[in-house]
């Protein structure tokens, strides 16, 4: 379902219990309806919908915010009323991917959104934390092009590619919470000895796209890349573990800060983490060859930092899905959430 500004107002009223009232009265009413108990899966879903509806109404004040809350937009700490998203989003659907952790009171969601032109969609991905049915944390990112992250990008393909995440086999063997927490602990720790089997049909995506790597000269693969559990996977000793553990869908969300370089990649560019030394060495070799030929204008390799939430899906004893969601900042940057 696609929401416009008009339908957002109706959706928000419905989420608050079906009481119709002017937008100006929603703040007081929303506060009065907050109860001091745990937030169920339906409750968390409703709050996520409220976040999206409030963006469409360009009014964050109608959200059930805690008296003190933490919030970032593309790694920048700021009050919701100063965020760009609450000024620019003009249409959005329900989350294409929604992972809910009722024990931690947290949720991760991702979807395509429109900021003005329907032909130029962006990818919104976010994490929220809820205590006593009030939002205490909002970690929001919007990627508008490959330049925001240096990876593959497709807001158009995102809905189709994420369908399988939300419709796993009914007869699947679900992983225990302990297993999912072990997976989170090992995600950015290459020294962890956890053995992870990868399903043959495991889906690997970057910013909504099933990755096809044509290579910098256009003569590489034409087949989507699969998931992997690399020995040289990027490391972060201070990775944020167990941000969201969704036992129903087997989804794990782990956060990390990854230093790397932006390299020229054909006529575009790509982000390569510093821990992937072999991949950087290959790109250095390619760059030297192209520079010697003098036939191309190429971006100079430049240090950068990627703030990432890696999303994994695990059931039937195997890794079934792997998403890399990342936003780039300058070199040596740190996260406000660390």
Q: What's the whole-number mean pLDDT along residues 275-288?
A: 96
Question: Please, which pLDDT band fits residue 14 given cuts at 50, 70 and 90?
Answer: very low
Task: Supply the pTM of this predicted model.
Answer: 0.89
* H or E stretch covering 44: helix 41-56
- The whole-number pLDDT of residue 24 equals 37
pLDDT tens string 73-83: 999 999 999 99
DSSP 301-321: PEEEEEEEEEEEEEETTEEEE
Distance of alpha carbon 5 from alpha carbon 11, whole angstroms = 10
Question: Please, which pLDDT band fits residue 175 given cuts at 50, 70 and 90?
Answer: very high
- CA-CA distances (angstroms) from residue 313 to 63, 218, 240? 30, 31, 17
The structural domains of the chain, with segments of one domain joined by +, span 2-144, 165-329
- The whole-number pLDDT of residue 3 equals 53
Burial of 1 per CB tally in 10 Å (0-12, 13-18, 19+):
exposed
Question: Please, which pLDDT band fits residue 35 given cuts at 50, 70 and 90?
Answer: very low
Question: Please, which pLDDT band fits residue 212 given cuts at 50, 70 and 90?
Answer: confident
Determine the CATH number of domain 2-144. 3.10.450.50
- How, if at all, do strands 91-93 and 97-101 pair? unpaired
- CA-CA distances (angstroms) from residue 150 to 287, 290, 292, 299? 17, 20, 25, 13
Q: Among 161-170, 214-223, 252-261, name the one with the lowest average pLDDT.
A: 214-223
Quick one: what percent of the chain has pLDDT higher than 70? 89
Exposure pattern of 260-298 as b/e (b: 16+ CB <10 Å)? Answer: bbbbbbbeebbbbbebbeeebeebeebbeebeeeeeeeb
Q: Among 10-14, 34-38, 75-79, 235-239, name the one with the lowest average pLDDT.
A: 10-14
Question: Please, which pLDDT band fits residue 7 given cuts at 50, 70 and 90?
Answer: low
């Amino acid at each position: 379902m696609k929401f416009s500004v008009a339908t957002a107002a109706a959706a928000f009223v419905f989420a608050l219990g079906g009481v119709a009232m002017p937008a100006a009265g929603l703040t007081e009413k929303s506060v009065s309806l907050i109860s001091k108990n745990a937030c169920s899966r339906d409750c968390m879903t409703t709050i996520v919908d409220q976040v999206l509806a409030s963006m469409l109404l360009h009014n964050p004040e109608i959200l059930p915010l805690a008296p003190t809350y933490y919030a970032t937009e593309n790694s920048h700490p700021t009050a919701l009323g100063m965020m760009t998203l609450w000024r620019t989003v003009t249409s959005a659907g329900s989350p294409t991917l929604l992972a809910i952790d009722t024990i931690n009171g947290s949720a991760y969601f991702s979807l395509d959104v429109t900021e003005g032109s329907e032909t130029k969609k962006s990818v919104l991905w976010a994490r929220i934390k809820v205590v006593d049915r009030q939002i205490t944390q909002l970690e929001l990112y919007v990627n508008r092009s490959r330049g925001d992250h240096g990876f593959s990008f497709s807001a158009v393909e995102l809905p189709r590619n994420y369908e399988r995440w939300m419709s796993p086999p009914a007869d699947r063997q679900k992983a225990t919470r302990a297993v999912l927490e072990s997976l989170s602990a090992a995600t950015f720790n290459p020294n962890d000895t956890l053995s992870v089997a990868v399903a043959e049909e495991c889906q690997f995506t970057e910013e909504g796209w099933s990755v096809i790597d044509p290579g910098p000269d256009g003569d590489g693969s034409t087949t989507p890349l699969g998931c992997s559990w690399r020995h040289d996977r990027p490391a972060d000793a201070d990775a944020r573990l167990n941000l969201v553990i969704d036992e129903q869908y087997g989804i794990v969300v782990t956060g990390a800060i990854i230093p790397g370089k932006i390299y020229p990649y054909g006529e575009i560019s790509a982000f390569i983490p510093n821990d992937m030394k072999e991949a950087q060495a290959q790109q250095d070799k390619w760059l030297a060859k192209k520079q010697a030929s003098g036939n191309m204008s190429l971006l100079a390799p430049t240090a950068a930092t990627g703030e990432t939430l890696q999303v994994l899906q695990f059931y039937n004893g195997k890794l079934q899905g792997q998403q890399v969601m990342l936003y780039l900042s300058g070199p040596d940057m740190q996260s406000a959430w660390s």
